[in-house]
Amino acid sequence: MKEPGAEPFLPQRPTLAKLRAAVDECRGCELWEHATQGVMGRGPASAELMLVGEQPGDREDLEGEPFVGPAGGLLDRALTDAGIDPEQVYRTNAVKHFRFSGTSGKRRIHQSPARRHVLACEPWLVTELELVEPAGVVLLGATAAEAVMGTSFRLSRSRGRVLDWPERVDGRGGKPEFVVATAHPAAVLRSRHRSEALAELVHDLRVAARALRQAS
């Protein structure tokens, strides 16, 4: 099924503040129905680095802020270890509403968004990119990586490398100078080899930090 997409719900003359208000009214796909609220990205409009995750998790859905749950805690730690100030980055997600299964009972089980949800939601991300104009973008996990790089992108093969921004994601204004894909912090938390997985994430974030210094 083709989703109507988020385009009609974008504010005119957008600002980050307007996006935050508008995302909650989006009906661009069906994910809004069971979610608590839409979760827009967060961070300084002047951020040099934008981090893109998958979708809000349980905590993010309840609080209305990205990366405030366990994955966000791990991400903060990894950023700090990589020499990046967590306060200076803009964090967002490929999809702005929480998708989950198992609505009965208390526990909501995360379910990855489908390609159609990612495509429906893309106008929000493109608008964030236009407003923040980051020099670099870090894609966290396969959903974000495929959302930006296309579905033939293989995270396992291409993570931790400085790549050119793809032509297909083209907003107005300047495009990012580089993009680095890496693991999702939630995958690090789930890993049976957590300290190695964390070290790999930190390694990839250092690659992005170095590229950022060269870009500016």
Residue nearer to ligand URA on the CB measure, 71 or 212: 71
Q: Is 124 in the site for ligand URA (CB under 6 A)?
A: no
Q: Is 23 in the site for ligand SF4 (CB under 6 A)?
A: yes
Q: Which stretch binds ligand SF4 (CB under 6 A): 89-97, 149-157, 186-194, 200-208?
A: 89-97
Q: Which residues pair with 90 in a beta bridge?
A: 50
Residue nearer to ligand URA on the CB measure, 43 or 176: 43
Q: Which of 89, 193, 94 is nearest to 144 (CA)?
A: 94
Q: Which of 71, 89, 155, 183 binds ligand URA (CB under 6 A)?
A: 71
Residue nearer to ligand SF4 on the CB measure, 148 or 208: 148
Q: Which of 10, 88, 6 is nearest to 50 (CA)?
A: 88
Distance CA 144, CA 183 (A): 10
> How many amino acids of this chain bind ligand SF4 (CB under 6 A)?
16
Considering only residues 184-213, where is the footprint of ligand SF4 by CB under 6 A? none
Binding partner of residue 121 among ligand SF4, ligand URA, none, CB cut-off 5 to 8 Å per kind: ligand SF4
Amino acid at 207: V
Say whether 28 sits in a helix, a strand or coil: coil
Q: Which spans of this chain sit near ligand SF4 (rule: CB under 6 A)?
A: 6, 23, 26-29, 31-32, 38, 95-97, 117, 120-121, 124
